[in-house]
Amino acid sequence: MKKELTAEEYLQRVLTAQVSDTCPMRRTLEMLSGKWRTHIIYELCKKETCRFGELKKAVPRITNTMLSSTLRDLEELGIIHREQFNEIPPRVEYSLTEKGRALLPVFTELAKWGEKYID
């Protein structure tokens, strides 16, 4: 089992240039990059499941095309699960996977930082 790095140990690795393209931080930032990914993950944190229209209302400035594309990307990354129900009218629900739910502590720490530093 890998030993978890402390913030100080990670900073030391960064400062001594021991960080490469395989750096977990770099790969995580790339996975979460994009204007809408974190917004959508945040909205899915609030509910067990969410439909496309609910997400569209929760992130009002996003276009339908961009929402579809971002949901597809997050599904390919294994962060969200898409379930399609074969009924009339068709219904699709999105939820966080175990991998997606594992991001919740990260969001908690971001919220703490925001409460402390953002007016």
How confident is the model over 35-88, as pLDDT tens digits?
999 999 999 999 999 999 999 999 989 999 999 999 999 999 999 999 999 989
- Residue 91, helix vs strand vs coil: strand
H or E element, residue 54: helix 52-58
Q: What domains does the chain contain, in order, with CATH numbers?
A: 24-117 (1.10.10.10)
Quick one: pLDDT at residue 8? 85
Global model pTM greater than 0.75? yes
- Alpha-carbon distance values, 27 to 22, 32, 96, 111 (Å): 7, 9, 19, 22
Does residue 28 have a pLDDT over 90? no
27 vs 81: CA distance, rounded Å: 21
CA angle 33, 36, 37 (to 5 degrees): 55
Q: What is the pLDDT confidence band of residue 18, given thresholds at 50, 70 and 90?
A: low
Residue scoring higher pLDDT (6 or 79): 79
